[in-house]
């Protein structure tokens, strides 16, 4: 029985071995000033690590931070109503202006007006009215390869239509949209992490030095230090009790679901 349990434990640990991080830490979890300042979305103010104010993001960062958008004067501000934004490329209403839909024709100035979305069922839309609509904040409508309206998640690159693939920070490989992999990063400086699009899960990477140095999926965080833990994971891991652990959802600590699954299986096996 014991052998079976350890076999199953090893099996589970191995299949779950690649690290994945879903959630960004609340800035308050970064207790060290330097660590705090190295996380893009946080700022050290009055001896505390807090969410960075939109006005402190530069032009390139601004639009990709939830809650911040570049206004028409080029200043980064807290995202206003969708109707205050105009874009050159319709998909930017989604990507850059936080879940806005877009008009299907340009205005006199040649811009697409962003607009707030009314939730729709992508499958029920005609092909002409398909694009730049939403089912919810995470699911948008776009024409698929057979030019029919389909719903897609903004959190996953896999299978996205090729005309929006790269705009959502995904790559096209053999005519299929997929997420970047650690192996796509070819230098030690770049080898930090990859994300599934802009908003999907983060996979931490590791630079493996041998005869052919390469960037591979990271399988543990044991070599990360208080200085590198959050920096190397875009603030999705943090330093807790001398170890580098992934950030909890909703900022309160919870047992990870894989750990619960293991406990659950062990309990069942003990019952047998
Ligand atoms: C634009 O969308 C509206 C509905 O929102 C639709 O009536 C109209 O036909 C569409 N126009 C074009 C050019 O697709
Ligand atoms: C395109 O979308 C339609 C409707 O959602 C679906 O029936 C069809 O299988 C999709 N085509 C491809 C190639 O996925
Ligand atoms: C690395 O992790 C990704 C998940 O981000 C997974 O899809 C991929 O198959 C893994 N690659 C290897 C070589 O294990
Ligand atoms: C910190 O980790 C040690 C061993 O790694 C453990 O004994 C201790 O209970 C932990 N402390 C907290 C507060 O989790």
pLDDT interval class at 30 (50, 70, 90): very high
Bridge partner residues of 45 (DSSP): 48
The 10s digit of each residue's pLDDT in 239-269 is 999 999 999 885 444 444 444 444 444 544 4
For the stretch 150-170, what's the b/e string if a residue is b when 16 or more beta carbons lie within 10 angstroms of its beta carbon?
Answer: bbbbbbbbeebbeebbebbbb
How far does residue 104's CA lie from ligand 1's centre (Å)? 6
pLDDT interval class at 60 (50, 70, 90): confident
- For residue 267, the model assigns a pLDDT of 46
Please work out whether the CB of residue 217 comes within 6 Å of at least one atom of ligand 3.
Answer: yes
* Predicted confidence (pLDDT) at residue 114 exceeds the cutoff of 50: yes
Please work out whether the CB of residue 150 comes within 6 Å of at least one atom of ligand 3.
Answer: no
How far does residue 150's CA lie from ligand 1's centre (Å)? 18
* Predicted confidence (pLDDT) at residue 235 exceeds the cutoff of 70: yes
* Predicted confidence (pLDDT) at residue 97 exceeds the cutoff of 80: no
* Predicted confidence (pLDDT) at residue 270 exceeds the cutoff of 70: no
Q: Specify the pTM.
A: 0.78
The 10s digit of each residue's pLDDT in 117-135 is 889 999 999 999 999 899 9
φ/ψ of residue 219, rounded to 5: -110, -15
Q: What is the DSSP string of 43-92?
A: EEETTEEEEPPGGGS-HHHHTTSTTEEE-TTS-EEE---GGG-EESSTHH
């Amino acid at each position: 029985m014991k052998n079976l349990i350890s076999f199953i434990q090893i099996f589970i640990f191995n299949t779950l071995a690649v690290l994945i991080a879903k959630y960004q830490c609340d800035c308050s979890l970064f207790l060290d000033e330097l660590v705090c300042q190295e996380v893009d979305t946080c700022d050290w103010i009055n001896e505390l690590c807090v969410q960075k104010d939109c006005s402190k993001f530069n032009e390139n960062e601004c639009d990709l931070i939830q809650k911040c958008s570049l206004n028409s004067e080029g200043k980064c501000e807290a995202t206003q109503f969708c109707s205050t934004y105009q874009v050159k490329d319709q998909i930017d209403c989604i990507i850059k202006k936080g879940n806005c839909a877009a008009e299907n024709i340009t205005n006199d100035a040649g811009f697409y007006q962003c607009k707030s979305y009314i939730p729709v069922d992508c499958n029920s839309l005609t092909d002409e009215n398909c694009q730049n609509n939403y089912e919810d904040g995470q699911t948008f409508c776009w024409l698929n390869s057979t030019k029919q309206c389909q719903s897609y998640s903004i959190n996953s690159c896999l299978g996205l239509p090729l005309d929006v693939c790269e705009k959502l920070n995904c790559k096209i490989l053999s005519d299929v949209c997929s997420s970047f992999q650690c192996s796509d990063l070819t230098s030690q400086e770049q080898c930090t992490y990859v994300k599934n699009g802009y908003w999907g899960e983060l996979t931490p990477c590791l630079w493996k030095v041998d005869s052919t140095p390469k960037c591979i999926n990271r399988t543990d965080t044991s070599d990360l230090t208080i200085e590198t833990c959050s920096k190397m994971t875009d603030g999705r891991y943090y330093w807790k009790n001398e170890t580098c652990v992934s950030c909890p959802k909703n900022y309160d600590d919870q047992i990870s679901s894989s750990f619960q699954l293991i406990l659950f299986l062990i309990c069942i096996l003990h019952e047998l």
